Amino acid sequence: MPDRAATTRLVAAAARHHLQPLGLHRRGASRVWLDDRGWWLVIVEFQPSRSHGTYLNVGPMWLWHERDHWSFDDGSRVYWRHDATFVAQPPIGEAGWTSFLDFVNAEQFTRDMDTLAGVAAQRVEQLRSQFRDPAATAHELISCATGRSESPWWQAYHVGSAAALAGDPDAARHAFRRITVGNLDPNWAHDLAQHASHLADLADDPHALQQRVIEAIHATRQLLELPPLPPSPCPYRVPSGGGE
């Protein structure tokens, strides 16, 4: 049985083979790979466990909410089969799905890790298509079940921000106005509602609203130490990918 560092090297080799050609880059020496889409990220995490092996998490992180930490904003855990088919949630009672790749021996793990990294690459391309631009993202988030998001409040905030970036102030205002809280709700919810109310008030000036969302994207990129985006009226254009 190898040590954890050796397992991580096998994970990295497979990820490099499948993800680097798509433009993803590895975050330091971690098991996390990033697909920088400008206004959002696809985060790929080969999550370690107490035993040798890995889970696979792939999901988007929206950059219009200012923060200095990484997070999955719309699902993450991937389930797969040996034939490389995958789903976000397997049908109840259906056999053959797994969410964990165990280490049995180096040959087995290398082979299965190649399959898993290929699954990760497919999921990245799926998310790129699904959230191809802010308008499509707003539509997708509106149509999805709220259970996929952190909360209905966050779903409304993400819909509003995507709509604002897409130049649809009416949809943005409607989404932001949905964020209402009561006295017993947590402090962060009150902060979010106050911020959303401010953004909703900006909807009468679509350019000002869009610029406020753009400012949040730039601020988050700076906090996460991501490369700055060049000044552009369309900040959601995809930047060129980088290597590891």
Residue type, 215: E
Structure-block tokens of residue 91:
């049908």
**Residue 244 resides in a domain:** no
Among residues 130, 155, 188, the one where a domain terminates is 130
180 and 113 in a common domain: no
Report the predicted TM-score, pTM, of the whole model to 2 decimal places.
Answer: 0.91
118, 139: one domain: no
Task: Tell me how far apart the alpha carbons of residues 240 and 38 are, in angstroms, rounded to a whole number.
Answer: 9
Among 109, 130, 151, the domain-final residue is 130
- For 131-142, what is each residue's pLDDT tens digit? 999 999 999 999
**pLDDT score for 25:** 97
Note whether residue 203 is domain-resident. yes
Q: Same domain for 48 and 142?
A: no
Question: Are 62 and 144 members of one domain?
Answer: no
Are residues 53 and 23 both part of a single domain? yes
Same domain, 125 and 19: yes
Chain centroid offset of residue 45 CA = 11
Query: Is residue 138 one of the residues assigned to a domain?
Result: yes
Is pLDDT above 90 for 149? no
Q: Are 65 and 179 in contact (CB under 8 A)?
A: no
Q: What is the 8-class DSSP label of residue 36?
A: E
Q: Is residue 236 part of a domain?
A: no
- Which of the four pLDDT bands, split at 50, 70 and 90, describes residue 241? very low
- Give how many domains the chain has, as a whole number: 2
Residue type, 196: A
Range of the domain at 79: 4-130
Q: For the purposes of burial, counting CB atoms within 10 Å of the CB of 226, is it exposed (0-12), middle (13-18) or buried (19 or more)?
A: middle
Same domain, 80 and 38: yes
**Strand pairing report for 40-47 and 53-62:** antiparallel
Cα 79 from chain centroid? 17
Of 130, 149, 172, the domain-final residue: 130
Same domain for 45 and 140? no
Question: Among 6-10, 107-111, 193-197, 205-209, whose mean pLDDT is lowest?
Answer: 6-10
